[in-house]
Chain A
Amino acid sequence: MEWAELQEWADQARQKRKNIRVYCCTSTGCQASNSPAVKKAMDKAVKEANLGTEVQVVSVGCMGFCGQGPIVEVENSQDPNHYRLYEQVTPEQAPSIIKGLQGEIVTATPGNPNHPFFAHQLQIVREHSGQIDPESIEEYLAVGGYQGLHHSLFEMSPEEVVQEITRSGLRGRGGAGFPTGLKWSTVAKMPPGQKYVICNADEGDPGAFMDRSVLESDPHRIIEGMAIAGYAVGADHGYIYVRAEYPLAISRLEKAIKQAKRNNVLGTQIFGSAINFSVEIRVGAGAFVCGEETALIASVSGGRGVPRPRPPYPAVVGLYGKPTLINNVETLGNIAPIITKGADWYASIGTGKSKGTKIFSLTGNVIYNGLIEVPMGITLREIVEEMGGGVPNGGQVKAVQTGGPSGGCIPADQLDISVDYESLSAAGSMMGSGGMVVMDQDTSMVGVAKYYMEFCQEESCGKCIPCRAGTVQMYDLLKKLLAEEATAADLAQLQELCDMVKATSLCGLGQTSPNPVLSTLRYFESEYQDLLQPAMSKV
């Protein structure tokens, strides 16, 4: 397929779009607040008002404002000023929203699209989320979909693609921040032969849901990113490893893969070139450790998700012993725009060492919660106080937890730090996959540490002793502390265990499991001290 043909195809898809589009979010968050019924009512209202020729009701992915769902947006391509946003829409309000198009009064609660929650965002990965129907390849083509893949296949050599990604400064969005270009070039440099691409969609961090949202809102984007990656590193087969807890993401991915195959953007001889790339879905079965790349490989091959020592890294010896490229969902979501808009454009966003944007799921004790995509280098204060609107009921922010069970808590007096890989690590936390939980003055920090430790000891796979036994002991000590039965000796032992588990565990789960304890000890030691009991005098 020539470039011109692809453009024509996109034009045809665009012509199918009607002037007025009513977007109804049907992602998991809004579905839980009855959005499918809202969508049905909207369709009915359009039919009744005989507006079927001008108005199109579109079921779209996440718009990010999950806490106020179901969300409905109205956009008029002929009149950019006629943009409306409604929150907490009920099916009964549907007719009034449709009548509102003709200037009548709308009963639905209007939202404010200029609210800082939206205004501070810069959307790259989520640019089409909430603007297109995730279950239609034509909708994706209409917004320029698969042009990055076409461009890389016909205009660039695999080396040039790898160079472009390297120059963009993109780093792994799974949390550790390994330079993506370096990973790609490692796999690309391996001798030709069978290689694999794996998309890591095992988003196990409690409090994080950006990967789910990207897969539910724009599945084709991830498929395109994987296909570009496959071309760049010389792999002809890819797997998407998704959590079983995300049934909607799985069904939308399945549809997207079918459509892509049917339209020759996946499979053999993509776009008529000599390149083959196919994608298969593998469903996880509930194990946090499977987010670790070597455990993930074990799980994709149908076994227990148990990690193995690295090196050799999967880029050298991976799935079935072949070189394997493993990237997180959000990392792959950045690939297509880097190819279409160029590495320089991408590198101009963000800070010195952290380029581009990062999606966070802002949750916990905060007024406006949901998904935000912000440029790196924004401060935590901007996110929590301006975008999130601060703590409800006049409460105070006590700490912000980032990075899930591997991360840490950042206290309120450090909210002015810049959000990038290095600053967060220096503050004793980490970027992590993007969970950001705001905690107010009533939250017990020792309780939070215990919560994460309970998580880690349950999720430890049991292969290595430090993690298997250490997390249980640390959990018991934290329980003892909270029951006000612990002495200074117990606290010293807890600290010792933290250092030991961190230094000697086999994989990232164990190595980072003490982080929530260490960071709360660092900033909120008084809370630990207050729980201590005087040591019993020896008789």
Chain B
Amino acid sequence: MKTASQETETKQPQKQPDKRFRVLDVTMKRSQYQQDSLIEVLHKAQEAFGYLEEDVLAYVAKHLKLPLSRVYGVATFYHLFMLKPGGAHTCVVCMGTACYVKGSDKILSNLEKEFQITAGETTADGQVSLVTARCIGACGIAPAIVFDGTVAGQQNSESVSKKLHQWQEEK
């Protein structure tokens, strides 16, 4: 039985040309391979790869000299780290109190019905990931939705669903 680190070693030669691993190397070098920079490194890894695949976690574990279980434990503990690939676009519905009071729960349930996915999933065509956030701190313009990193305020079911359909038609 191979250990995870041996596995990465065997995978290494194929991965060498992958520039994204170089981004990781730079980040880890900058923090002098300190183990307490793990969260920072995982953030960078997710930025580069889009999500945290298993061999990325193993690569980080090996270079920071941490057991894979610890890296995996941290990656699964925090909401922002995704272990599965997301869609081409991401729609984040804020579920903070202010947004909730102003009807973000209805927006979410309408989207779930209309696109037949539940929060956290991606549409069958791989175009849209529907995600919920606890509070994005834009309570003054509730209900707030984040389309691909851009915050939009005072949204309603129609406006959000229109935007998602636009994304789906982009294919």
Interface residues of A (CB under 8 A from B): 28-29, 31-33, 65-67, 69, 203-209, 212, 244-246, 282-288, 299-305, 361, 363-365, 369-371, 401, 404, 435, 437, 439, 443, 451, 455, 459, 461
A28-B151, A29-B140, A212-B137 given; name 12 further pairs at CB < 8 Å.
Answer: A28-B136, A33-B153, A66-B140, A66-B141, A206-B135, A208-B137, A287-B79, A302-B36, A370-B140, A401-B97, A439-B101, A459-B134
CA distance A299 to B136 in the complex (A): 20
Q: Does B100 contact A (CB under 8 A)?
A: yes
Q: Let me know if B101 and A365 touch, CB within 8 A.
A: yes
Q: Let me know if B97 and A299 touch, CB within 8 A.
A: no
Q: Does B37 contact A (CB under 8 A)?
A: yes
Chain A residues with CB under 8 A of B98:
206-207, 361, 363-364, 369, 437
Chain B residues with CB under 8 A of A302:
34-40, 74
Nearest CB of B to A407, in Å: 10
CA distance A93 to B98 in the complex (A): 30
**Could you give, for residues 129-157 of chain B, a 1 whenever the CB lies within 8 Å of some chain A CB and a 0 otherwise?**
00001111111111010000011110000
Chain A residues with CB under 8 A of B142:
363-364, 369
Chain A residues with CB under 8 A of B100:
206, 451
Residue on B nearest A216 in the bound complex, by CB: B137
Say yes or no: A361-B139 contact (C-beta < 8 A), given A286-B80, A451-B97: yes
CA distance A212 to B134 in the complex (A): 15
Q: Does B95 contact A (CB under 8 A)?
A: yes
Q: Let me know if A282 and B97 touch, CB within 8 A.
A: no
Residue on A nearest B98 in the bound complex, by CB: A363
Q: Let me know if B43 and A285 touch, CB within 8 A.
A: yes
Chain A residues with CB under 8 A of B144:
32
CA distance A501 to B14 in the complex (A): 52
Chain A residues with CB under 8 A of B102:
364-365
Say yes or no: A32-B153 contact (C-beta < 8 A), given A364-B98, A435-B97: yes
Place the interface of chain B in its size category.
Answer: 35 or more
Contact of B141 among A67, A205, A244, A284 (CB under 8 A): A67
Q: Let me know if A69 and B141 touch, CB within 8 A.
A: yes
**Could you give, for residues 66-106 of chain B, a 1 whenever the CB lies within 8 Å of some chain A CB and a 0 otherwise?**
00001001100111110000000000000111101110000
Q: Let me know if A208 and B135 touch, CB within 8 A.
A: yes
Contact of A301 among B36, B97, B151, B153 (CB under 8 A): B36
Chain B residues with CB under 8 A of A435:
97, 139
Q: Let me know if A287 and B137 touch, CB within 8 A.
A: no
Residue on B nearest A442 in the bound complex, by CB: B101
Residue on A nearest B77 in the bound complex, by CB: A304
CA distance A459 to B36 in the complex (A): 23
Q: Does B160 contact A (CB under 8 A)?
A: no
Those 3 A-B pairs whose CB atoms lie nearest each other, nearest first: A66-B140, A207-B97, A285-B78
Chain B residues with CB under 8 A of A300:
36
Q: Does B107 contact A (CB under 8 A)?
A: no
Chain A residues with CB under 8 A of B108:
none
Q: Let me know if B139 and A363 touch, CB within 8 A.
A: yes
Say yes or no: A361-B134 contact (C-beta < 8 A), given A207-B96, A286-B80: no
Chain B residues with CB under 8 A of A206:
95-98, 100, 134-135
Residue on B nearest A249 in the bound complex, by CB: B137
Chain B residues with CB under 8 A of A361:
98, 139-140
Q: Let me know if A32 and B151 touch, CB within 8 A.
A: yes
Residue on B nearest A300 in the bound complex, by CB: B36
Nearest CB of B to A209, in Å: 4
Q: Let me know if B152 and A32 touch, CB within 8 A.
A: yes
Chain A residues with CB under 8 A of B73:
304
CA distance A67 to B143 in the complex (A): 11
Q: Does B111 contact A (CB under 8 A)?
A: no
Q: Let me know if B151 and A363 touch, CB within 8 A.
A: no
CA distance A301 to B37 in the complex (A): 7
Q: Does B24 contact A (CB under 8 A)?
A: no
CA distance A306 to B97 in the complex (A): 25
CA distance A443 to B80 in the complex (A): 30
Q: Does B164 contact A (CB under 8 A)?
A: no
CA distance A58 to B56 in the complex (A): 43
Chain A residues with CB under 8 A of B139:
66, 207-209, 361, 363, 369, 435
Nearest CB of A to B86, in Å: 15
Q: Let me know if B35 and A207 touch, CB within 8 A.
A: no
Q: Let me know if A299 and B138 touch, CB within 8 A.
A: no
Nearest CB of B to A422, in Å: 24
Q: Let me know if B101 and A29 touch, CB within 8 A.
A: no
Say yes or no: A286-B79 contact (C-beta < 8 A), given A299-B39, A301-B36, A361-B139: yes
Most buried by A among B70, B80, B144, B150: B80
Chain B residues with CB under 8 A of A364:
97-98, 101-102, 142
Chain A residues with CB under 8 A of B78:
284-287, 305
Chain A residues with CB under 8 A of B95:
206
CB-contacts of B117-134 with A (<8 A): 133-134
Chain B residues with CB under 8 A of A286:
78-80, 134
CA distance A303 to B34 in the complex (A): 12
Residue on A nearest B78 in the bound complex, by CB: A285
CA distance A405 to B120 in the complex (A): 23
Nearest CB of B to A404, in Å: 7
Chain A residues with CB under 8 A of B101:
363-365, 437, 439, 443
Say yes or no: A245-B137 contact (C-beta < 8 A), given A363-B98, A451-B97: yes
19 A/B residue pairs, CB under 8 Å, sorted by A: A29-B141, A208-B137, A209-B135, A209-B137, A209-B139, A286-B78, A286-B79, A288-B134, A302-B36, A302-B37, A303-B70, A304-B73, A305-B78, A363-B97, A364-B142, A369-B98, A370-B140, A404-B97, A437-B101
Most buried by A among B35, B96, B136, B150: B96
Chain B residues with CB under 8 A of A370:
140
Chain A residues with CB under 8 A of B79:
285-287
Nearest CB of B to A519, in Å: 14
CA distance A90 to B42 in the complex (A): 39
Most buried by B among A404, A437, A451: A437
